[in-house]
Structure 1
Amino acid sequence: MASDTPAAGGARRAAALEEAVLSGLPTAIAQLSGLVRIPSVSWDGYDPASVAASASAIAELARATGVFDSVEVLRAPMTGPEGGGELGHPAVLATRAARNGRPTVMLYAHHDVQPQGDEALWESPPFEPTLRGDRLYGRGASDDKAGVATHLAAIRALQEVTGGDLQVGLVLFIEGEEEFGSRSFPSFLEQQRERLAADVIVVADSDNWSTTVPSVTVSLRGNAAFNLTVSTLDHAVHSGMFGGAAPDAMLAAIRLLATLWNADGTVAVDGLATFDGIDAPDFPADRFREESGLLDGVQPIGGPDGSRYGQMWFGPSITVTGIDAPSVRDASNTLVPTVRVRISSRVAPGQPAGEAFAAIERHLHANVPLGAQISIADVDNGEAFLVDTSGWAFADAKAALTDGWGAEVVEAGIGGSIPFISDLVRVFPEAQILVTGVEDPDTRAHSPNESQHLGVLRRAILSEALLLSRLDERS
Structure 2
Amino acid sequence: MTSLNPSTDRPHHPPRVGDRLRATVDASFPRIVEQLSSLVGIQGIAWDAFDARELDRSAEAVADLIRGVGFDDVRILRIDNDGTPGGPAVVARRAAAEGQPTVLLYAHHDVQPPGDPALWESEPFVATERNGRLYGRGAADDKAGIMAHVGAVAAITEVLGETFGVGVTLFIEGEEEAGSPTFRSFLETYREDLRADVIVVADSSNWKVGVPALTTSLRGLVDGTIEVQVLDHAVHSGMFGGPVLDAPTLLARLIATLHDDAGDVAIAGLHGGDHASVDYDEDDFRADASVLDGVRLAGTGSIASRLWHKPALSVIGMDIPSVALSSNTLIPRARAKFSLRLAPGQDPGAAMDAVRAHVEAHAPFGARVTFTPGETGSPFLTDTTEPASRLALSALEEAWGVRPVEAGMGGSIPFIADLTELFPSAQILITGVEDPDSRAHSANESLHLDEFRKAVLAEAILLAGINDGGLDRD
TM-score range, shorter chain: over 0.9
Q: Using a 3 Å threshold, how does the CA distance of structure 1 residues 36 and 87 change in structure 2: closer, same or farther?
A: same
- Deviation, structure 1 residue 130: 1.8
Contact 2:218 2:409 in 1 (8 A): yes
**Does structure 1 residue 287 correspond to structure 2 residue 284?**
yes
The match for 1:297 among 289, 294, 300 is 294
Q: Take 2:130 and 2:326, find their aligned partners in 1: how far apart are those partners?
A: 39
When the two structures are superposed, what TM-score results if normalisation uses the length of structure 1?
0.92
The match for 1:206 among 204, 213, 228 is 204
Q: Take 1:45 and 1:365, find their aligned partners in 2: how far apart are those partners?
A: 35
Q: Comparing 91-100 with 228-237, which one deviates more in the overlay? A: 228-237
Q: Take 2:235 and 2:56, find their aligned partners in 1: how far apart are those partners?
A: 46
Q: Take 2:385 and 2:128, find their aligned partners in 1: how far apart are those partners?
A: 41
**Does structure 1 residue 125 correspond to structure 2 residue 129?**
no
Contact 2:220 2:344 in 1 (8 A): yes
The match for 1:339 among 321, 329, 334 is 334
The match for 2:452 among 449, 457, 460 is 457
- Deviation, structure 1 residue 184: 0.9
Q: Take 2:77 and 2:311, find their aligned partners in 1: how far apart are those partners?
A: 36
The match for 1:73 among 70, 73, 76 is 76
- Deviation, structure 1 residue 54: 1.5
- Deviation, structure 1 residue 165: 5.4
CA RMSD of aligned residues (A): 2.0
Aligned to 1:221: 219
**Does structure 1 residue 22 correspond to structure 2 residue 22?**
no
- Deviation, structure 1 residue 38: 2.0
Once the two structures are superposed, residues 404-458 of structure 1 have per-residue CA deviations (whole angstroms, 9 ceiling, x without a partner) of 1111111111111111111111111111111110011111112222111111110
Aligned pair count reads 463
**Does structure 1 residue 348 correspond to structure 2 residue 343?**
yes
Aligned to 1:32: 36
Indicate the SS of the match to 1:435. Answer: strand
Indicate the SS of the match to 1:447. Answer: coil
When the two structures are superposed, what TM-score results if normalisation uses the length of structure 2?
0.93
Contact 1:321 1:343 in 2 (8 A): yes
Q: Take 1:2 and 1:118, find their aligned partners in 2: how far apart are those partners?
A: 61
Once the two structures are superposed, residues 24-43 of structure 1 have per-residue CA deviations (whole angstroms, 9 ceiling, x without a partner) of 11221122222222222223
**Does structure 1 residue 397 correspond to structure 2 residue 392?**
yes
Q: Using a 3 Å threshold, how does the CA distance of structure 1 residues 225 and 237 change in structure 2: closer, same or farther?
A: same
Once the two structures are superposed, residues 280-321 of structure 1 have per-residue CA deviations (whole angstroms, 9 ceiling, x without a partner) of 322222112211211111110126xx4100110100010011
Alignment of 1:178-217 (within 5 A): 178-217=176-215
**Does structure 1 residue 160 correspond to structure 2 residue 158?**
yes
Between the aligned residues of both structures, percent identity stands at: 51
Aligned to 1:148: 146
- Deviation, structure 1 residue 332: 2.7
Amino acid corresponding to residue 376 of structure 1 in structure 2: F
Aligned to 1:257: 255
Once the two structures are superposed, residues 261-280 of structure 1 have per-residue CA deviations (whole angstroms, 9 ceiling, x without a partner) of 1122211111111045x543
Q: Take 2:323 and 2:50, find their aligned partners in 1: how far apart are those partners?
A: 25
Contact 2:102 2:169 in 1 (8 A): yes
- Deviation, structure 1 residue 164: 5.8
Q: Comparing 322-331 with 439-448, which one deviates more in the overlay? A: 322-331
Contact 1:275 1:350 in 2 (8 A): no
**Does structure 1 residue 103 correspond to structure 2 residue 101?**
yes
Alignment of 1:297-376 (within 5 A): 297-302=294-299, 306-376=301-371
Q: Take 1:239 and 1:33, find their aligned partners in 2: how far apart are those partners?
A: 55
Contact 1:154 1:464 in 2 (8 A): yes
Unaligned stretches of 5+ residues in structure 2: 5-12
Contact 1:199 1:430 in 2 (8 A): yes
Contact 2:40 2:138 in 1 (8 A): yes
- Deviation, structure 1 residue 245: 3.5
Contact 2:226 2:336 in 1 (8 A): yes
Once the two structures are superposed, residues 228-269 of structure 1 have per-residue CA deviations (whole angstroms, 9 ceiling, x without a partner) of 232223333333333334332211211111110112221111
Unaligned stretches of 5+ residues in structure 1: 79-83
Indicate the SS of the match to 2:313. Answer: strand
Amino acid corresponding to residue 147 of structure 2 in structure 1: A
Alignment of 1:4-15 (within 5 A): 11-15=15-19
Once the two structures are superposed, residues 381-425 of structure 1 have per-residue CA deviations (whole angstroms, 9 ceiling, x without a partner) of 000000121221111111111111111111111111111111111
Aligned to 2:428: 433
- Deviation, structure 1 residue 85: 5.1
